[in-house]
A and B are shown apart, each in its own frame.
Chain A
Amino acid sequence: MEKIIETKDISYSYTDSDGQISIVPALSNVSLSVESGEYVAVLGHNGSGKSTLAKLLNLILTPTSGTLYIDGKEIDHNDDDIDKLYDVRKTVGMVFQNPDNQLVATVVEEDVAFGPENLGIEPKEIQKRIDEALETVGMTEYANHATHSLSGGQKQRIAIAGVIAMKPKCIIFDESTAMLDPLGRKEVMRAMERLNREEGITIIHITHYMEEAARADRVIIVNDGEVYMDATPREVFSHVEELRAVGLEAPQATELLHRLRALGYDVPRDCIDADECAEIIVKLIKSEKEKNV
């Protein structure tokens, strides 16, 4: 598998309004790699540095120190080659949190066209890309609707369509489900998973919802500007106490089994799925009842 993203010891410090560089870096010495086609969730409490990481990966920010490789291209802190930066932003697209902040046009179709138009793509090709992108997010019938009339989940899906129309290899979702209702969250998750499975697009999903993170192939936890854990969801969520220590929590299925284990019952510590959890408990109750007979 080829690496789409690789970071080597990257750090980032914000500069305040007086031009002073902050003493506490937002991110320090982060080294990680993401393979093409992976579906990665990133967790971390507010202020942990996860959004800074996301902004570095599509070069909204460039690292204060360290080196970044995006799709094989090397970028370091004093890179000011604009063409190269544009190229990288084409590779890694980003969908933000607030659906109302990232639509630029009044009509759905025109909004999706904004990205490819700026890349100087032929009008015919743009139309093709719009159609495909809207199809992928299930919004074809809304092509001529006014953007302001859509629900939050629909707006986010238009924002996603606008990113896919630029044909990125990787998309970062920076808490893109945070402001949505349960249905809107499901719509966005479905679109995300479809892009990953059917189009092979690498997904990096930053979220506060543990149940969402449990669906990824891999979970990275960022804490105090460093990578705290990096493993499969099963492995990560089995560390219930450590998660709590960094301001996070496990999915309710994992939490319930963790509590039973603490009481001395022999149940697995790495279950993250509701159905699986229910099966485990059914078995446990049946065997305990037999003991009592």
Chain B
Amino acid sequence: MYKIEVKNVSFVYGQSTPFETSALTDVSVGFEEGKITGLIGHTGSGKSTLVQMLNGLLRPTSGQILLDGKDIWEKPKEISKVRFRVGLVMQYPEYQLFDDTVRSDISFAPKNMKLSESEIDERVREAAAFVDIDEQILDKSPFELSGGQKRRVAIAGVLAMKPEVLVLDEPAAGLDPRGRRTILGGLCEYQRKSGTTVILVSHSMEDMALYCDNIVVMNDSKIFAEGTTSQVFSRASEIASVGLDIPSIAHIANKIKGNGIGLTGNLYTVDGVLDAVLREMKGGR
């Protein structure tokens, strides 16, 4: 079942000016409830525009965004309610931290939701715990923290809204491998516990392979491919034709198969290929 669905959406920047450019052309795609869907595409393919449609930051030039089957723009004056239900973590969110303390920064959204003091307090603690931010850090200034910590505080600020849909644009960009694992692994765990529908934008195919159930590929303002992670990564040459790549481990698996050896199963993560190789060595048993 689709939690959020994009129906025949087009978007034009600078309409009826000389700078008119079409960023989305008749896009239709659905995001399954309770799943992590990866959104990939080269720079300028329309990903960020699509992502900003999902919580009503941009309004489609034509077409509909359906949340639980209802058009989010049905009552434009109530669009702010949608933004509490669909949380968006933008690229480099650490630049959006602004408050005196980590605690007040994380509680900004829950306060705007007019929750009670005790509820806000609980949500801040919960959100901070999920992104591995210690209680002691809560009373520090966010500007004293390291880059990775700031990033996690910014994500906690969105988690504290307890959104039904969580959209993250490149949450691990610029981080080292351990930092990537902390953030993405943490999100994955959060998703499993809360059942939130997650949409993840990333340029790292290795990360996509590890964490996503489904993948949507965008190219030239349109949907180029969609399906489960294994379906999408099995189309290596098509993916390469739109300036993207498959994980390097998937290349290795393809080369092995090219030698007449039949590997089966998940062939886009190290764990999956290892299992496939072990099975094949034991004669396919």
Identify the stretch in B3-11, B98-106, B126-134, B240-248 within 8 Å (CB) of chain A at 4 or more residues: B240-248
Of B43, B146, B248, which contacts A253 at CB under 8 A?
Answer: B248
Give B198 Cβ to nearest chain A Cβ, in Å: 21
Chain A residue nearest to B47 in the complex (CB): A181
Asked whether, in the complex, the Cβ of A183 is within 8 Å of the Cβ of B243, the reply is yes
Asked whether, in the complex, the Cβ of A97 is within 8 Å of the Cβ of B42, the reply is no
Asked whether, in the complex, the Cβ of A249 is within 8 Å of the Cβ of B252, the reply is no
Asked whether, in the complex, the Cβ of B283 is within 8 Å of the Cβ of A292, the reply is yes
Asked whether, in the complex, the Cβ of B273 is within 8 Å of the Cβ of A249, the reply is no
Q: Judge if A123 is at the interface, Cβ distance under 8 Å.
A: no
Q: Judge if B251 is at the interface, Cβ distance under 8 Å.
A: yes
Q: Judge if A211 is at the interface, Cβ distance under 8 Å.
A: yes
Chain B residue nearest to A247 in the complex (CB): B178
Q: Judge if B147 is at the interface, Cβ distance under 8 Å.
A: yes
Asked whether, in the complex, the Cβ of B274 is within 8 Å of the Cβ of A259, the reply is yes
Q: Judge if A59 is at the interface, Cβ distance under 8 Å.
A: no
Q: Which residues of B contact A97 (CB under 8 A)?
A: 174
Of A178, A211, A285, which contacts B280 at CB under 8 A?
Answer: A285
Assembled-state Cα–Cα distance A182/B246 (Å): 10
Asked whether, in the complex, the Cβ of B278 is within 8 Å of the Cβ of A263, the reply is yes
Interface residues of A, dominant DSSP:
helix
> Chain B 240-278, CB within 8 Å of chain A: the 1/0 string?
000111011101100110110100000000100110011
Q: Which residues of A contact B174 (CB under 8 A)?
A: 97, 175, 178-179, 208
Q: Which residues of B contact A124 (CB under 8 A)?
A: none
> Chain A 71-87, CB within 8 Å of chain B: the 1/0 string?
00000000000000000
Q: Judge if B179 is at the interface, Cβ distance under 8 Å.
A: yes
Asked whether, in the complex, the Cβ of B282 is within 8 Å of the Cβ of A252, the reply is no
Give A265 Cβ to nearest chain B Cβ, in Å: 8
Assembled-state Cα–Cα distance A247/B283 (Å): 37
Known: A182-B205, A182-B245. A259 touches B179 (CB 8 A): no
Q: Judge if B57 is at the interface, Cβ distance under 8 Å.
A: no
> Chain A 268-293, CB within 8 Å of chain B: the 1/0 string?
00000011011101101110110010
Asked whether, in the complex, the Cβ of B252 is within 8 Å of the Cβ of A46, the reply is no
Give B173 Cβ to nearest chain A Cβ, in Å: 7
Asked whether, in the complex, the Cβ of A46 is within 8 Å of the Cβ of B146, the reply is yes
Chain A residue nearest to B273 in the complex (CB): A256
Asked whether, in the complex, the Cβ of A252 is within 8 Å of the Cβ of B247, the reply is yes
> Chain A 47-64, CB within 8 Å of chain B: the 1/0 string?
100000000000000000
Chain A interface (Cβ < 8 Å from any Cβ of B): 44-47, 97, 151-153, 175, 178-184, 208, 210-211, 247-249, 251-253, 255-256, 259-260, 263, 274-275, 277-279, 281-282, 284-286, 288-289, 292
Chain B interface (Cβ < 8 Å from any Cβ of A): 41-44, 146-148, 173-179, 203, 205-206, 243-245, 247-249, 251-252, 255-256, 258-259, 261, 270, 273-274, 277-278, 280-283
22 contacts between A and B (CB under 8 A): A45-B179, A46-B146, A47-B147, A151-B44, A179-B174, A181-B243, A182-B203, A183-B244, A184-B42, A208-B177, A247-B176, A247-B178, A256-B270, A259-B270, A274-B252, A274-B255, A278-B258, A281-B252, A282-B259, A284-B281, A285-B256, A288-B282
